[in-house]
Amino acid sequence: METNNLLTVIEKLKDNSHLGKHKHFFAADRKKWFDLFFGLSIMIINLCIAVIHLFFLGREMDYFVVYFISGISIFAVFLAGMELRYNFAKAFEAHRRIGNKYLVIARESEKYIADFKDGQISKNELSTSIIPELNKKYNEINVDAESFPTRKKDYRRALKIQKEKLGNNI
C-alpha cells in the first residue's frame, strides 16, 4: 500500500475516533442532565409532601390538599419509575467510558502518524501490525457502543466540532 494511502487510513481512523468520542460525550452530558433532573425532582416533590404533612399535622386536611398530595405522589412515582427504567447514571458512565476509549484510539493514531513521519516506524510496520491492531481496537469499541446508542443530534454536534477543529476538511 502506498504511503499516502496508509496515512489516509490512519488519519481517517483518528478522525472517526474523535467523532465517536465527541458523540458519546454529548450523550453522556444529556444522560447526566436527565439523572440530575429526575433525581432532584423526586427529592423536591418528596420534600413538599413532607412539609405539607407537617403543616397539617393534627389537623384535618381539605380534599384539595389530599388530592394535591396524591397527585404529586403519583408524579414522583412516575419520575422514580423513569429513573429506574432508563438508569441515567449508568448510561452516563457507560457513554463516558466509551468516549474515553475512542480518545485512546485517536491519541494512538496521532502518535503513530507522528512516529511514521519522523521515521521512527516503517511503512511495513504501519501496514502489517499497527493499522490492523488499531482497527481491531476500534471495532471492539464499536461493539461495546452498540448497547449505548447516541442520537442523531449527538452526531451532528460532534461533526460540527470536528469541522471547526479541522477547518471543514472532513
At 42-53, the pLDDT tens digits run 999 999 999 988
Per the rule left: phi > 0, alpha: psi between -120 and 50, beta: everything else, 122 is beta
Query: What pLDDT score was predicted for residue 169?
Result: 53
Query: Helices marked H in 56-169 — which ranges?
Result: 63-86, 88-117, 123-125, 131-145, 152-166
Domain boundaries, given as residue ranges, for the chain? 3-165
Is the Cβ–Cβ distance between 34 and 86 less than 8 Å? yes
The cell numbers describing 131, all together, are: 493499522
pLDDT per residue over 62-80, tens digit each?
888 889 999 999 999 999 9
What's the chain's average pLDDT? Answer: 93
Is the Cβ–Cβ distance between 6 and 121 less than 8 Å? no
Name the amino acid, one letter, at 73. Answer: S
Q: CA-CA distance, 75 to 27, in Å (whole number)?
A: 26
SS3 category, 57: coil
Cβ contacts of 164 within 8 Å, gap of 6 or more? none
State pTM to two decimals: 0.85
Query: What pLDDT score was predicted for residue 84?
Result: 94
Q: CA-CA distance, 22 to 39, in Å (whole number)?
A: 25
Report whether pLDDT(147) > 90.
Answer: yes
Query: What pLDDT score was predicted for residue 29?
Result: 97
SS3 category, 6: helix
Report whether pLDDT(82) > 50.
Answer: yes
The cell numbers describing 18, all together, are: 474523535
Query: What pLDDT score was predicted for residue 60?
Result: 86
Residue 170's pLDDT band, with cuts at 50, 70 and 90, is very low
